[in-house]
A and B are shown apart, each in its own frame.
Chain A
Amino acid sequence: MREVPAETITRVVRELCIEANTCLREDHLSALRRAFEEERSPLGREVIRQLLENARVACSERVAFCQDTGYAVFFVELGQEVRITGGTLQQAVDEGVRQGYREGYLRKSIVESPLRRDNTGDNTPAIVYCEPVPGERLRMTMLVKGAGCDNASAIKMLTPAEGVEAMKCFVVETVERAGPNASPPLTVGVGLGGTFEKAAMLAKKALVRTSGEPHPDPEVAALERELLREINATGIGPAGYGGTVTALAVHIETHPTHIAAFPVAVNIDCHSHRVREAVL
Chain B
Amino acid sequence: MSGEIRLRTPLSREDVEPLRSGELVLISGVLYTARDAAHARMAAALDAGEPLPFDPEGQVIYFVGPAPARPGHPIGPAGPTTASRMDPYSPLLIERGLRGMIGKGKRSQAVKEAMREHGCVYFGAVEGTAALLARRVKEAEIVAYEDLGPEAIRRLVVEDFPAVVVNDLHGGDLYEEGRARWRRAG
Residues of A within 8 A of B (CB): 40-44, 46-47, 50-51, 53-54, 57-58, 61, 63-69, 105-109, 117, 119, 121, 148, 151, 179-181, 183, 230, 233-237, 239-244, 270-272
Q: B10-18, B48-56, B74-82, B108-116: which lies at the A interface? A: B74-82
Other contacts beyond A41-B181, A241-B174: 8, CB < 8 A: A46-B1, A63-B76, A67-B150, A179-B105, A179-B179, A241-B178, A243-B178, A272-B128
Q: Which of B83-131 contact A (CB under 8 A)?
A: 84, 104-106, 124, 126-131
Contacts of B79 in A (CB 8 A): 66-68
- Residues of chain A with a CB closer than 8 A to B180's CB: 235, 242
Q: How far is the CA of A183 from the CA of B64 in the complex (A)?
A: 15
Contact B127 A58 (CB under 8 A): no
The reply on B46 being an interface residue by CB < 8 A is no
The number of inter-chain residue pairs (CB within 8 angstroms) is 165
Partner of A242, one of B81, B105, B179: B179
Known interface pairs A43-B1, A64-B77, A66-B77; A243-B182 also in contact (CB < 8 Å) = yes
- The verdict on B177 contacting chain A, using a C-beta distance below 8 Å, is yes
| Contacts A107-B65, A181-B105, A183-B127; A67 near B77 (Cβ below 8 A) | yes
Contact A181 B106 (CB under 8 A): yes
**Known contacts being A54-B132, A69-B67, is A239 close to B77, with CB within 8 Å?**
no
Tell me which of A67, A148, A181, A240 contacts B67 (CB under 8 A): A67
Taking the closest CB of chain A, its distance from the CB of B127, in whole angstroms, is: 4
